[in-house]
């Protein structure tokens, strides 16, 4: 077995995230499974850009309260212990609320080209504020 006692915490790139978001990569995509797993921590107000995952994504909230939104305006508000499954190709975003931190384990299966994520434009303040007002 291999015992990894710590992984580096890296700030996620501003061209893909709004606000301060930190990633610990647990599993990088590699053959044969191309499984990618990360522990991602969002500060209040922080969120991903719009994006989609070729093979879908599982998000397991480990701390705080988060939001996951879709283009159709469906917004899920999820707390620690809850899991959200995003289907393949569905454009969405995830992030903290404006008053709470949120951390999740993000799980995707990629392919030989990487983790299969297609990154799009930022979630605007208007879109984010609208999501804060929605419930699910
Ligand atoms: Mn996602």
Query: 34 in the Ramachandran plot: left (φ > 0), alpha (ψ -120 to 50) or beta?
Result: left
Confidence check: pLDDT of 112 > 70: yes
* Alpha carbon of 128 to ligand 1 centroid (Å): 15
In tens, the pLDDT along 38-82 reads 999 999 999 999 999 999 999 999 999 999 999 999 999 999 999
The pLDDT of residue 135 is 62
* Alpha carbon of 5 to ligand 1 centroid (Å): 27
* Alpha carbon of 1 to ligand 1 centroid (Å): 30
In sequence order, what are the beta bridge partners of 86? 57
Residue 75 in contact with residue 131, Cβ under 8 Å?
A: yes
| Two tokens, residue 60 | 């397991």
Domains of the chain: 19-135 (2.60.120.10)
Confidence check: pLDDT of 134 > 90: no
């Amino acid at each position: 077995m291999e015992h990894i006692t710590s992984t580096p915490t890296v700030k996620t790139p501003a061209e893909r995230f709004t606000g301060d978001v930190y990633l610990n990569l647990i599993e990088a995509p590699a053959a044969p499974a191309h499984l990618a797993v990360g522990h991602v921590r969002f500060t209040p107000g922080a969120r991903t850009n719009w994006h989609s995952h070729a093979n879908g994504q599982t998000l397991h909230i480990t701390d705080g309260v988060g939001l996951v939104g879709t283009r159709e305006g469906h917004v899920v508000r999820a707390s620690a212990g809850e899991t959200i499954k995003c289907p393949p190709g569905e454009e969405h975003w995830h992030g903290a609320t404006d008053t709470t931190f949120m951390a999740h384990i993000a799980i995707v299966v990629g392919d030989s080209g990487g983790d299969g994520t297609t990154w799009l434009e930022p979630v605007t303040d208007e879109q984010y504020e609208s999501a804060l007002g929605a419930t699910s």
